[in-house]
Amino acid sequence: MALIGKIRSYSWLLLAFVGVALLAFILGDFVRKGPKYSNATDVGKVGSRTISYREFDQMVEEEEAIEKQRNGSEKLDYIKINEMKQKIWEDMVKKTLLYKEFEELGLAIEHDSKLGPSISAEELNDLIRGKNLHPYIQQLFTDPKTGQVNRANIDNLINNFDQMKPEQQDEWLRIEKSIREEKLSNKYQALISKGIYITQSQAKRSFEARNVFADFRFVALKYTDVNDNAVKLSDDDVKKYYEEHKNEYEQESSCNIEYVVFEVLTSDEDTKKVVDDINNLKPKFEEAKDAKAFVNENADSRYDSTFFAKGKLSPAIDTAIFDAKIGTFIGPIIDKSVYKIVKLLDRQERADSAKVCHILVAYKDAKGSDPKVITRSKTAAKAKADSIAKIVTKDTVKFKEFALKFSDDPSNKEKGGELGWFKDGLMVHAFNEACMKGKKGEIKVVETDFGYHIIKVEDISPFQTKIQVAIVDRELKASEITYKLIYAKASNFASKATTAAAFDNTVKKEKLVPRTADDIKETDYTLPGLESPREMIRWAYDEKTKVNDISSKIFDFDRKFVVAKLKKKQLKGIAPLEQVRADIEAQVRKEKKGKILAEKIKKQITPGITIDELAKKLNVSVDTATSISFSSFSIPKFGLETEIIGTVFGMKTKSLSKPIEGKSCVAVIYLDVISNSSETKDYSQAKKMLYQYLSSRYSYEAYNAIQKNAEIIDNRLKFY
């Protein structure tokens, strides 16, 4: 079905509709990771919903297929795949939590076992076939000729859904699912946003926080003025502070690893072997009658039939061969660790790109043809193609009409067969040659494995000189013997470094340079100098691996052997006292110093004393702060001091404060004046600004609250 072909061509856009529509209002990653889940076949659990490995892996495979289609690639790299897994997990967690909210709030009228919480059938119908068509439906079903939505095509697809192939049905169900999710998301956002209301008093406070200013003078004694030895800390003091401030020491799981890398580099013997091999191949290459076959039989890389413009080959090859005679050989040359012999095969004047329309007439045995749909013979296909070409050559206006009516290429027939601009070398050989060596306006019939193409060259770039070369290459890489020698070094190191102390001593003795990676998360997939170290990260987080353990196996990461030591490991939750003792002792010491300094100041304060007199008694200077608003954070010379600023706006003018224990000092303030730079009784603008600020955070805060109260168990570490 042509429409499904079009839908499939746009299927990568579903990533945006599924993810952005439901989760655009959620900022950041708030996924909580709990203790390891016991079920060996489950990736994790979100509330009451269990996520099996099979379900999760299937979603990963589907996303990989969409990503490959979108990028036109056959394989995704390691980093991309891991980023995809992380995003899928985050989306599953968020959707699971939000679906529960949708249902409890009554936003999800129905529940489809396959599609999850849903809007009502009437709402869905309105978005797909009614007056309020979803943008994605509009995009898919708009007629390129009229610019209007072809509602007959929508009705035809839905009415014939049962006759569609399973994969086509799945494509359509994905579209429906994304539309349902976006509508539910919009309802949820609207429900929360309508709950935001700014009162007059809130607007007034917000206005005053920005427009009411204080000028004050102050004296301050710094905590650093008290020697640490003057403060006595007891274990009870530390424990008491820890118990009172536990929530401030909540932490995520992380670990630190130190590791030694034994990199497999090529030896002199490896280089000599490659050079000898390439030199032995050169005379045989020069004598070979079929350069393409010789390359495919003897080179590391397959033959490339591309025609290259000036400057498109590597400089070493381009300079030596571009203007040479056909048949010229050069080499061996080394190009980025690859030894090459090059033969100049051809030189042509041809375009670099072309804009083309085509009509495909396929036959039953042609590549990509569905024998249930395409039943004509090859002879019949050729006759039909010639007939169409004859008509459209006489009347080119009919080309797009005939493409829509006769073309067997569903990906572009509704566009009148338009392929748009494409670069030289991107199409199959016969098709590519007809286009790049054609003329503007020319129409011709070309045969490929897909059938017969009636090609119309709508436009073409200026011709330029291009060359075609055959390259026999041999990559300089480590031999098996070299691998074994480097592994032996790593193994020797590992046999000596069986404990943390032995690891450190052996590193020092053998003058090795260890690498460190700190604050590694469970979901990380890269480490400095290592491209795919997931196995080592899993080792570090294994319950059996303890701090100061040495990896019992030598890790092999793409020509790098690694021996690791676990330096630090912390689990998610409240950090244990011993882990944060140093920080707590510093805080307790500061509090005790604050009491000492406050008492020292109090002894100097007498009735009617001025700020200048107090400064003189304390042997410090009087500092001045001007134009400080309630929304300010810092004061001159002392930086961040919100406690002091907060006290200022609770004072009466011409008054002296009590000692205030701030972040870096204990201060006494004399408030000179409070001034309003912009008095008003109209707080509408302040109300608007505050509403905009809260609106930018409401969804973030809502999801954050939901997430904090949810039980989320992430067990992916067992599988990936």
Taking the chain (720 residues) in runs of 10, the rounded mean pLDDT of each run is: 37 37 35 43 88 89 81 77 88 87 78 60 88 89 84 86 82 86 86 84 86 94 93 94 92 94 95 94 94 95 93 92 94 92 96 95 91 91 95 93 92 88 92 94 95 96 96 94 95 96 96 94 88 91 94 92 95 88 94 96 94 96 94 92 94 95 96 83 85 80 85 84
Span between the terminal Cα atoms of the chain, in Å: 39
Contacts of 316 (CB under 8 A, 6+ apart): 333, 334, 335
User: Cα angle at 360 between 359 and 364, to 5 degrees?
Assistant: 155
Contacts of 485 (CB under 8 A, 6+ apart): 267
Topology of the domain covering 211-249+578-676:
Chitinase A; domain 3 (3.10.50)
Kindly state the tokens that stand for 426: 């991107």
Phi, psi torsion values for 259, nearest 5 degrees: -150, 155
Domain spans in the chain, listed from the N-terminal domain onward? 2-194+711-718, 211-249+578-676, 254-265+479-570, 268-350, 353-461
| 575 SS3 class | coil
- The Cβ of residue 475 has, within 10 Å, a number of other Cβ atoms equal to 14
Contact predicate 404/387, CB 8 Å: no
- Of 80, 42, 40, the closest CA to residue 64 belongs to 80
Topology of the domain covering 353-461:
Chitinase A; domain 3 (3.10.50)
- Of 396, 400, 356, 399, the closest CA to residue 143 belongs to 400
Contact predicate 371/384, CB 8 Å: no
Phi, psi torsion values for 380, nearest 5 degrees: -65, -35
Cis peptide preceding 35, ω within 30 of 0: no
Query: What pLDDT sits at residue 40?
Result: 64
By residue count, the chain amounts to: 720
Contact predicate 216/628, CB 8 Å: yes
Q: For residues 49, 55, 61 and 64, what is the CA-based torsion angle, rounded to 10 degrees?
A: 0
DSSP bridge partners of 459: 355
- Of 568, 502, 484, 542, the closest CA to residue 260 belongs to 502
| 131 SS3 class | coil
Beta strands in 440-559 (DSSP E): 443-448, 451-460, 464-475, 515-520, 555-556
Q: Do domains 211-249+578-676 and 353-461 have the same CATH topology?
A: yes
Contact predicate 179/128, CB 8 Å: yes
